[in-house]
Chains A and B, each alone.
Chain A
Amino acid sequence: MFLLRYIVLPPLIALLANLLLGRWWGRKTTATLACGSVLLSFLVSLRDSYYLYMITLPETRVASDVMFTWLSIGRFEIPVEFVLDPLSGAMCLIITGVGFLIHLYSVGYMWHDPGFRRFFVYLNLFIVFMLLLVLADNLLLLFVGWEGVGLCSYLLIGFWHADMKNASAGKKAFVVNRIGDLGFLIGLLLVFAAFNTLSVSEMQEIISDAIARHLPLPLAPLAATVICLCLFVGACGKSAQIPLYVWLPDAMAGPTPVSALIHAATMVTAGVYMIARLHFLYAFSPFASGVVAVVGAATAIYAAIIGLAQNDIKKVLAYSTVSQLGYMFLAVGVGAYTFGIFHLATHAFFKALLFLGSGSVIHALSGEQDLRKMGGLCRRLPVTFWTFLAGTLAIAGVWPLAGFFSKDEILIAARLAETPLISGRALFAVGLSAAFLTAFYMGRLFVMAFLGPCRVEADKQHHIHESPWTMTVPLIVLALLSAVGGAAGVYHHSFARWLSPLYGAPDAAPPAVEHFVMAASLAVAFGGLALSFLFYLQAPTLPDRLARTAGWLYRWVAEKFYVDELYEWIVVRPVYYVGVAGQAFDKHVVDRAVNWTGGGLKGAGFLLSFFQSGNVGTYAIWFLIGVSILLHVMR
Chain B
Amino acid sequence: MISITAADLSGISPALHLAVAGIAIMLLDALWPMRSKLLSVWITLAALGCSLTTSLHRLTAGVDVTLFNGAVRMDGYAHAFSAIICLASTLAVLSAPKYLRLRGVHLAEYYALLLFSVCGMVLFAAAEELIMLFLALETLSIPVYCLVGFTRTNVYSTEASMKYFVIGAFATGFLVYGIALLYGAAGSGYLVDLRAGAARAPGLFYAGMTLLLVGFLFKIGAVPFNMWTPDAYEGAPTPVTTFMAEAVKAAPFGGMIKVLFVGFGFDAAVGLWQPALVVIAVLTMTVGNLTALVQTDVKRMMGYSSIAHSGYILVGILAASKLQSADALAAVLYYLFVYVLMNAGAFGILILFSHKDKDTNAVEDLTGLARERPWAAALMAVYMLSLTGLPPLAGFFGKFYIFSYAVKAGYVPLVIIAILNSVVSAYYYLKVIVAMYFRGPEDTGRAAVFHYEGYSVFLLAMLWFTAWGILYYGIHSEPQLALARLAASSLFATAP
Q: Which residues of A contact B (CB under 8 A)?
A: 69-74, 140, 143-144, 147, 151, 158, 161-162, 164, 166-168, 170-171, 174-175, 178-179, 182, 185-186, 189, 192-193, 575-576, 578-580, 582-583, 607-608, 610-612, 614, 616, 618-620, 622-623, 625-627, 630-631, 633-635
Contact = CB atoms under 8 A, between A and B. Distances in A.
Contact of B478 (A72, A178, A576, A608): A72
Contact of A627 (B211, B415, B424, B434): B211
B283 A73 contact: no
A189 B407 contact: yes
Contacts of B440: 162
Nearest to A626: B224
A631 B181 CA distance: 13
A634 B290 contact: no
Contacts of A166: 438
B404 A147 contact: no
A619 B163 contact: yes
Contacts of A174: 426, 430
A607 B392 contact: no
A623 B225 CA distance: 5
Contact of B434 (A70, A162, A171): A171
Contacts of B162: 616
A182 B390 contact: no
A575 B207 CA distance: 38
Interface string B194-213: 00000000000011011101
B438 A144 contact: no
17 contacts: A71-B481, A73-B327, A161-B437, A179-B423, A189-B404, A189-B407, A192-B407, A583-B291, A612-B230, A618-B227, A622-B224, A623-B170, A623-B227, A627-B210, A630-B210, A633-B276, A634-B209
B269 interface: no
Interface residues of B, number: 66
A610 B426 contact: no
B438 A161 contact: yes
A633 B278 CA distance: 13
B403 interface: yes
Given A158-B437, A623-B227, A189 B167 contact: no
A176 to B, nearest CB: 11
A322 B228 CA distance: 49
B391 A610 contact: no
A147 B386 CA distance: 13
Contacts of A614: 231
A463 B310 CA distance: 60
Interface of B: 162-163, 166-167, 170-171, 174, 206-207, 209-211, 213-214, 217-218, 223-228, 230-231, 272-273, 275-276, 283, 286-287, 290-291, 293-294, 327, 331, 390-392, 397, 401, 403-404, 407-408, 415-416, 419-420, 423-424, 426-427, 430, 434, 437-440, 443, 475-478, 481
Contact of B272 (A147, A182, A612, A634): A634
B174 A616 contact: no
Given A147-B391, A627-B174, 12 more contacts: A71-B476, A140-B391, A175-B430, A192-B404, A579-B290, A579-B293, A612-B291, A619-B228, A623-B171, A626-B214, A627-B214, A634-B272
User: Can you list the 9 inter-chain pairs with the closest CB atoms, starting with the nearest?
Assistant: A167-B438, A626-B224, A579-B294, A619-B227, A161-B438, A579-B293, A616-B163, A634-B210, A144-B391
A607 B283 contact: yes
Contacts of A186: 416, 419
A275 B430 CA distance: 29
A70 B287 CA distance: 35
Contacts of A161: 437-439
B170 A620 contact: yes
A117 to B, nearest CB: 12
Contacts of A69: 478
B391 A143 contact: yes
Q: Which of A166, A582, A630 has the most CB of B within 10 A?
A: A630
B291 A582 contact: yes
Contacts of A612: 227, 230-231, 291
A336 B290 CA distance: 44
Contact of B407 (A73, A179, A193, A611): A193
A624 to B, nearest CB: 9
A578 B292 CA distance: 12
